Structure 1
Amino acid sequence: MIRRKKMIRDIALICLAAMSVLGLTSCAGRPDPNQNVIITEEKEVRLVNLFSPMEKTDPDAENVARSAADTTIAIAEEKLGVTVAYRTYTAEDYQDKTYDDVSLDRARSNMDDLYLLNPDTIRKLGSEGVLMDLSGLDCVKNLRDVVKTANTVDGKLVAIPQEVVVYGLFINMDIFNEYNLELPETPEEFLECCRVLKENGIETPVGANRWWLETFVFAQAYADLYNGGNTEEEIAALNSGAARYSDYMRPGFEFLQEMIDCGYIDAEKAYISEAIEGEGTDFLTGKIPVVMAYWGAANTETAYGNTDFELQVIGFPSSRGQMPVMSMTGFAVGAEAEHAEDAMMTLDAILSDEALQAYTEINKVISPSRNVEVECVPALKPLNDRVGEGVFVLGCNAGMKVEQWGNTCLIVRELLNGATVDDCMAAFDRLQEEALDSYK
């Protein structure tokens, strides 16, 4: 198993949005040659420091199109008269430290005002009381319930994202239509599709990589938890130890084991393959008919935005039908931030419906605001419809004491490497016991 630090660093760099820097400005009066005294006019610069994961661009560049995130920063700066200064992470600067490690250190030391954080870091810092409660911001009243659920720790909303990342199954409909296959709703229907495809000469029906097979697990594990009307109660039971994560996870791992045993996925290849790089070419050339990926991969000019076949993106099979799997990063404000008031106002502006509309139109993603809709490509309509109906599961939830996305990914990789389902369930039990002990 690769080291957890490298895994989390890679996850951070895949899931987090790129940002650019805005230069600091100041002005001072110049001496009047007609005067015998020098009059200095000072203007206060209201500064907000943001720690983010990516390299900054040339602060002196002019007439360069800003990224979606930078556009929202510009809206906040103009509206509030603040200047947002980017403090950025690079692996070279921090050597073996992951972005999460550095974020934890900086937030605990009050080094910045705003932070862009991964779910596990949000959970840790939120439980330590290091992050502001954002529930009083005006933008919160417009947030989707899923966003608040995923970023609430000990009753406090401690982070808010600019987008909700949704994962689904990408289907080559030309191949499915050739063999008269309906889009699967349940695990049993999905396995039957794989059986038919394999019997008709498709050696490996599902293209997989070392990151995203856990999406199958989440869909089956948490379909009822997030859609059965008892979400808070079930999470409370998991956090107290009255319920076990392994009981939720077992059906999904048994499903993956069956796929491995039947040859529907190539476990050896998946274990070493990077996302999209490992399976993308085979999917685009029609060698494999099914892959898993995130929403943005279906957009024009991205991984699967220009296929030569009819593409459909659906949710993962579950007992409640096709199930989208969501993850998200989040902006947070340090509880002891030097410029806390301006940071809170800046975040409120960045996450206003006006700013999120601009962000969504540029990135074509699902907004955290229920008032901001995305005009998705036709291939994404089935996935978008389910999200619109409020049907989904979370692959990350800061309110759970056991981090979900990274840990499940690592344990799925153990299954790919030959571990039994029972071994994997024992790993979840250990994680839960460790988490419960750390909260005592």
Structure 2
Amino acid sequence: MRLYTRRSACTTLAALAFAVPATLSACGGSREPVNLAEQNSQEAPSIDFFSPMEKIDPDALNTAREAGGMTIDMAEEQTGISVVYNTYTAENYQDKTYDDVCLERARASQDDLYLLNPDVTVALGREGLLADLSGLPAAANLREVVRAANTIDGRLVAIPQEVVAYGLFLNMDIFKECQLAVPNTPEEFIACCKALREAGYEAPVGANRWWLETFVFAQAYAEMYNGGDVEAEVAALNAGQTRYSDYLRPGFEFLKELIDEGYVDAEGASTSEAFEGPGEGQAFLDGECPIVMAYWGAANTETAYGKPPFAMEVVGFPSDLGQMPVLSVTGYGVLEQARHRDEALEVLNVIVSDEALELYSEINRVISPSENVKVECIDALKPLNALVEEGKFVLASNAGMDVEQWGNVCLIVRDLLGGASVEACMEALDKLQEDALSAQ
């Protein structure tokens, strides 16, 4: 286990955490997480902030971390409140996840401000542990999709610094060499994988143990979020009138076909960490794997795919409605019973202000949660950005759904990678829904 406590905002904040919700792990031994930051009553006001490291090396160069730190610097300067960082990472995929540690710390009120992944936002929000942020002045500028994704029982419980869009990263040199068009539908994607296999690419789709569920969400919720009555459909799911398994089945059947045909290396994906070690990330950069899935920010940073040695495009996932970006929207939350709740809210209001978001978005070139902040993206991201700006996307994290999607579907997809049948996966989804209904 590695637990870091820092004070210097500009060099230490791992602000990319909500953009990489599953690359972050923590140690699972008998040692309980501890807060190394001791408040000194004689010092200036301060708050405790818990966030993950997106890399094993806490000092690795990452522009997103630097940009996040700059917004914290801005908040410290404007409020006079110091921010004490507690960060957590681990050595391998078998260790306890950052989410597990975050839940433990939040339930024990160890920190004031948290950087939360979607499943943790839902869990803590439903437990009533997160403060309502809707009264913050900065909250008035949020995109509607951000509100929808982070509102629980009428309470806005988290605000991000970016809207995280997931897409397919394509090696366009290989696509051009194989005379392949970018696939739009599941059928076209399967045909594309078959052609790439015939061209010598044994496993055309590089995958890790976290993000294959993006294929499922794109197919499951394309119609709901693009022309459907979202509020009515979510209400029907929460009432048990419709089943999540009916929505998600086509995506699981699609993934099963990719696995059975060997287009996805199930064994490798089961243990691969995103961007870590000799996994799909390195294979993609080496030109051995034509397709990977990742979040928007990975195209901008050198720690991921920021400077590939080939032409790259980031596009949406295949669905019956065409290419579909998958959005995961989460972010910062403040504990309702935090020791320094008011100070944390004051700091957060600066971090998510238009001024700070403008700085953050300009440096990271990401989609801002504020309706007022627009940033030009790099060429590789323009296909994905055009879809998002058109309003064509699905949400992978919707706090209004009684069954949390991002984390639960990820775990069930791992069962599929391990050999579970589609029917067994559907039974697991139905069980989650039954449990949610019983808890009402």
Task: Give the TM interval when normalised to the shorter protein.
Answer: 0.7 to 0.9
The 1:382–1:12 alpha-carbon spacing in structure 2 relative to 1, beyond 3 Å, is closer
Q: Which residue of 1 aligns with 2:325?
A: 324
Q: Is 1:307 matched up with 2:316?
A: no
The 1:98–1:167 alpha-carbon spacing in structure 2 relative to 1, beyond 3 Å, is closer
Say which is worse superposed, 337-346 or 168-177, in terms of deviation: 337-346
Q: Is 1:289 matched up with 2:287?
A: no
- Give TM-score, length-normalised by structure 2: 0.83
The one-letter code sitting in structure 2 at the alignment partner of 1:116 is L
Q: Using the alignment, how far apart are the partners of 2:150 and 2:129 within structure 1?
A: 14
CA positional deviation for 1:22 = 11
| Contact 1:15–1:329 under 8 Å retained in 2 | no
Q: Which residue of 1 aligns with 2:161?
A: 162
| Contact 2:23–2:210 under 8 Å retained in 1 | no
Q: Using the alignment, how far apart are the partners of 2:378 and 2:77 within structure 1?
A: 32
Q: Using the alignment, how far apart are the partners of 2:123 and 2:267 within structure 1?
A: 34
Q: Using the alignment, how far apart are the partners of 2:201 and 2:23 within structure 1?
A: 30
The one-letter code sitting in structure 1 at the alignment partner of 2:311 is E
CA positional deviation for 1:398 = 2.3
CA positional deviation for 1:222 = 1.0
| Contact 2:24–2:89 under 8 Å retained in 1 | no
Larger-gyration structure (1/2):
1
Q: Is 1:115 matched up with 2:124?
A: no
CA positional deviation for 1:97 = 6.2
CA positional deviation for 1:305 = 2.2
| Contact 1:24–1:83 under 8 Å retained in 2 | no
Q: How does 1:220-239 map to 2 (within 5 A)?
A: 220-239=219-238
CA positional deviation for 1:372 = 1.7
Q: Is 1:378 matched up with 2:379?
A: yes
Per the alignment, in what secondary structure is the counterpart of residue 84 of structure 1? strand
Identity of aligned residues (%): 63
Per the alignment, in what secondary structure is the counterpart of residue 302 of structure 1? coil
The 1:137–1:259 alpha-carbon spacing in structure 2 relative to 1, beyond 3 Å, is same
Q: Using the alignment, how far apart are the partners of 2:187 and 2:342 within structure 1?
A: 53
CA positional deviation for 1:127 = 1.6
Q: Using the alignment, how far apart are the partners of 1:216 and 1:340 within structure 2?
A: 39
Q: Which residue of 1 aligns with 2:412?
A: 411
Q: Using the alignment, how far apart are the partners of 1:359 and 1:218 within structure 2?
A: 28
Say which is worse superposed, 231-240 or 83-92, in terms of deviation: 83-92
- Give TM-score, length-normalised by structure 1: 0.83
| Contact 1:326–1:393 under 8 Å retained in 2 | yes
Q: Using the alignment, how far apart are the partners of 1:90 and 1:322 within structure 2?
A: 34
The one-letter code sitting in structure 1 at the alignment partner of 2:238 is N
Say which is worse superposed, 218-227 or 244-253, in terms of deviation: 218-227
The 1:98–1:177 alpha-carbon spacing in structure 2 relative to 1, beyond 3 Å, is closer
| Contact 1:100–1:118 under 8 Å retained in 2 | yes
The one-letter code sitting in structure 2 at the alignment partner of 1:313 is V
| Contact 1:22–1:84 under 8 Å retained in 2 | no
Q: Which residue of 1 aligns with 2:149?
A: 150
The 1:107–1:257 alpha-carbon spacing in structure 2 relative to 1, beyond 3 Å, is closer
Per the alignment, in what secondary structure is the counterpart of residue 67 of structure 1? helix
| Contact 2:37–2:86 under 8 Å retained in 1 | no
CA positional deviation for 1:336 = 2.6
Residue correspondences, number: 400
The 1:121–1:45 alpha-carbon spacing in structure 2 relative to 1, beyond 3 Å, is same
Q: Which residue of 2 aligns with 1:430?
A: 431
| Contact 2:24–2:53 under 8 Å retained in 1 | no
Q: Which residue of 2 aligns with 1:14?
A: 23
Per the alignment, in what secondary structure is the counterpart of residue 331 of structure 1? strand
Unmatched runs of 5 consecutive residues or more in structure 1 = 1-7, 28-43, 56-64
Q: Which residue of 1 aligns with 2:190?
A: 191
Q: Which residue of 2 aligns with 1:396?
A: 397
Say which is worse superposed, 400-409 or 279-288, in terms of deviation: 279-288
Say which is worse superposed, 393-402 or 310-319, in terms of deviation: 393-402
Q: Using the alignment, how far apart are the partners of 1:145 and 1:360 within structure 2?
A: 18
CA positional deviation for 1:270 = 2.0
The one-letter code sitting in structure 2 at the alignment partner of 1:355 is A
